[in-house]
Chains A and B, each alone.
Chain A
Amino acid sequence: MSGLVVVGNGMAGARLVSEVRARDGSLRVTVFGAEPWQPYNRVLLSNVVAGTMTPDQVRLLDRGWYADHSVTAVPGVEVTAIDRETRAVLTADGRREPYDVLVLATGSRPVVPPVPGADRAVAFRTLDDCGAILDAARTARRAAVVGGGLLGVEAARGLAGRGLPVTLLHRAGHLMDRQLDAEAGLVLEETLTELGVETRTGAVVTEILDGGVRLAGGGTVEADLVVLACGVRPVTGLARDAGLEVAHGVVVDDEMRTDDPSIFAIGECAEHAGTVYGLVAPVWEQAAVVADLVTGADKTSRYRGSRLVTRLKARNVELAAMGETHLTDDEAEIVRFSHRARGAYRKLVIREGRLVGAILLGETSAVGALTQLFDRGGPVPADRTGLLFPGVSGGVVVDSPVRMPDAAKVCQCNNVTKGQIRGCWESGARDVEAVAAATRATTGCGGCRDAVEGIVGWLCEQEGIPA
Chain B
Amino acid sequence: MKPPESTIGRMPISLSAGTPVKAGAATHCPYCALQCGMRVTVGETVTIVPRQDVPANAGGLCQKGWTAGEPLTSGERLTTPLLYGEAATWDEALDVVAERIREIQREHGPDGVAVFGGGGLTNEKAYQLGKFARMVLRTSQIDYNGRFCMSSAAAAANRAFGMDRGLPFPITDLAAADAVLIAGGNVAETMPPFVRHLAAMRDRGGRLVVVDPRATATAGQADLHLQPTPGTDLALALGLLHIVIAEGHVDEDYVTRRTSGFDAVRTSVAAWWPERVERITGVPVARMRLAVEMLGGAARAAILTGRGAEQHAKGTDTVSAFINLALALGLPGREGSGYGCVTGQGNGQGGREHGQKADQLPGYRRIDDPAARAHVARVWGIAPEDLPGPGRSAYELLESLGAGGGPRALLLFGSNPVVSAPRAGHVAERLGSLDLLVVSDLFMSETAALADVVLPTTQWAEESGTVTNLEGRVLLRRQAAVPPAGVRSDLEILRGLAVRLRGAEGFPTDPREVFDELRRASAGGTADYAGITYERIAAETGVFWPCPAEDHPGTPRPFLDRFATPDGRARFVPVEHRPPREDVDGDYPLYLTTGRVLAHYQSGVQTRRVAALNAVVAEAFVELHPDLAERMEVSSGDRLRVVGRRGVTEGVARVNPAIRADTVFMPFHWPGVNLLTNPALDPVSRMPEFKVCAVRLERAG
Kindly state whether residue A434 has any CB partner on chain B within 8 Å. yes
Closest Cβ of chain B: how far from A162's Cβ, in Å?
A: 16
Kindly state whether residue B267 has any CB partner on chain A within 8 Å. yes
Kindly state whether residue A102 has any CB partner on chain B within 8 Å. no
Closest Cβ of chain A: how far from B452's Cβ, in Å?
A: 39
Kindly state whether residue A207 has any CB partner on chain B within 8 Å. no
Q: How many residues of A contact B (CB 8 A)?
A: 60
Across-interface contacts of A318 in B (CB, < 8 A)? 285-286
| A-B CB contacts (within 8 Å), total count | 166
A437 touches B15 (CB 8 A): yes
Known A-B contacts A309-B279, A394-B626, A415-B616; A444 and B193 likewise in contact (beta carbons under 8 Å): yes
Which of A367, A379, A436 is close to B285, meaning CB atoms less than 8 Å apart?
A367
A57 touches B61 (CB 8 A): no
Kindly state whether residue A286 has any CB partner on chain B within 8 Å. no
Closest B residue to A52 by CB, please name it: B246
Across-interface contacts of B257 in A (CB, < 8 A)? none
Residue-wise interface mask of A (432-457) relative to B, using a CB-CB cutoff of 8 A (1 in contact, 0 not): 01101111101111110000000000
Kindly state whether residue A131 has any CB partner on chain B within 8 Å. no
A445 touches B13 (CB 8 A): no
B199 touches A443 (CB 8 A): no
Closest Cβ of chain A: how far from B699's Cβ, in Å?
A: 17
Q: A residues 265-322 with Cβ under 8 Å of B?
A: 280-281, 309, 311, 313, 318
Across-interface contacts of B50 in A (CB, < 8 A)? 443
Query: SS class of chain A's interface: helix, strand, loop or mixed?
Result: loop
Which of B61, B263, B273, B662 is close to A372, meaning CB atoms less than 8 Å apart?
B662
Bound complex: CA A439 to CA B264 (Å): 55
Kindly state whether residue B634 has any CB partner on chain A within 8 Å. no
Which of B16, B188, B215 is close to A445, meaning CB atoms less than 8 Å apart?
B188
Bound complex: CA A62 to CA B199 (Å): 43
Known A-B contacts A47-B246, A53-B246; A375 and B286 likewise in contact (beta carbons under 8 Å): no
Kindly state whether residue B196 has any CB partner on chain A within 8 Å. yes
A61 touches B267 (CB 8 A): yes
B589 touches A367 (CB 8 A): no
Bound complex: CA A316 to CA B270 (Å): 21
B281 touches A281 (CB 8 A): no
B60 touches A444 (CB 8 A): yes
Kindly state whether residue A381 has any CB partner on chain B within 8 Å. yes
Kindly state whether residue A414 has any CB partner on chain B within 8 Å. yes
Across-interface contacts of B450 in A (CB, < 8 A)? none
Bound complex: CA A229 to CA B626 (Å): 45
B284 touches A368 (CB 8 A): yes
Across-interface contacts of B276 in A (CB, < 8 A)? 43, 280-281
B657 touches A62 (CB 8 A): no
Q: B residues 611-636 with Cβ under 8 Å of A?
A: 612, 615-616, 626-627, 630-631
Q: B residues 19-50 with Cβ under 8 Å of A?
A: 50
Known A-B contacts A57-B245, A61-B267, A367-B284; A437 and B278 likewise in contact (beta carbons under 8 Å): no
Closest B residue to A363 by CB, please name it: B286
Closest Cβ of chain A: how far from B182's Cβ, in Å?
A: 14
Q: How many residues of B contact A (CB 8 A)?
A: 66
A440 touches B66 (CB 8 A): yes
Kindly state whether residue B434 has any CB partner on chain A within 8 Å. no
Bound complex: CA A383 to CA B68 (Å): 45
Bound complex: CA A310 to CA B148 (Å): 40
Closest Cβ of chain A: how far from B246's Cβ, in Å?
A: 5
Across-interface contacts of B565 in A (CB, < 8 A)? none
A440 touches B63 (CB 8 A): yes
B278 touches A367 (CB 8 A): yes
Kindly state whether residue A136 has any CB partner on chain B within 8 Å. no
A429 touches B13 (CB 8 A): yes
Bound complex: CA A372 to CA B229 (Å): 9
Which of B8, B12, B266 is close to A57, meaning CB atoms less than 8 Å apart?
B266
Kindly state whether residue A396 has any CB partner on chain B within 8 Å. yes
Kindly state whether residue A412 has any CB partner on chain B within 8 Å. yes
A445 touches B270 (CB 8 A): no
A444 touches B626 (CB 8 A): no
Closest Cβ of chain A: how far from B304's Cβ, in Å?
A: 16
Kindly state whether residue B103 has any CB partner on chain A within 8 Å. no
Closest Cβ of chain A: how far from B219's Cβ, in Å?
A: 11
Kindly state whether residue A386 has any CB partner on chain B within 8 Å. yes
B282 touches A372 (CB 8 A): yes
Kindly state whether residue A58 has any CB partner on chain B within 8 Å. yes
B11 touches A444 (CB 8 A): no
Which of B584, B657, B661 is close to A395, meaning CB atoms less than 8 Å apart?
B657
Q: A residues 376-408 with Cβ under 8 Å of B?
A: 376, 378-379, 381-383, 386, 393-396
Closest Cβ of chain B: how far from A73's Cβ, in Å?
A: 15
B275 touches A311 (CB 8 A): yes
Across-interface contacts of A309 in B (CB, < 8 A)? 279
Q: B residues 211-232 with Cβ under 8 Å of A?
A: 215, 217, 220-221, 227, 229
Which of B16, B188, B598, B626 is close to A436, meaning CB atoms less than 8 Å apart?
B16
Closest A residue to B266 by CB, please name it: A57
Across-interface contacts of A58 in B (CB, < 8 A)? 270
Known A-B contacts A381-B630, A445-B199; A428 and B285 likewise in contact (beta carbons under 8 Å): no
Bound complex: CA A60 to CA B266 (Å): 10
Closest B residue to A444 by CB, please name it: B192
Which of B16, B199, B285 is close to A446, meaning CB atoms less than 8 Å apart?
B199
Residue-wise interface mask of B (177-216) relative to A, using a CB-CB cutoff of 8 A (1 in contact, 0 not): 0000000000011001111100100000000000000010
Kindly state whether residue B59 has any CB partner on chain A within 8 Å. yes
Across-interface contacts of B630 in A (CB, < 8 A)? 381-383
Known A-B contacts A372-B279, A429-B13; A443 and B59 likewise in contact (beta carbons under 8 Å): yes
A-B contact pairs, 8 of them (CB 8 A): A281-B276, A311-B285, A381-B631, A393-B657, A396-B220, A414-B63, A438-B8, A444-B61
Besides A311-B278, A381-B630, 16 new A-B residue pairs in contact (Cβ under 8 A), listed by A number: A52-B246, A60-B267, A62-B264, A281-B276, A281-B279, A311-B285, A363-B286, A371-B279, A394-B657, A396-B657, A413-B188, A434-B13, A437-B16, A444-B61, A444-B193, A445-B192
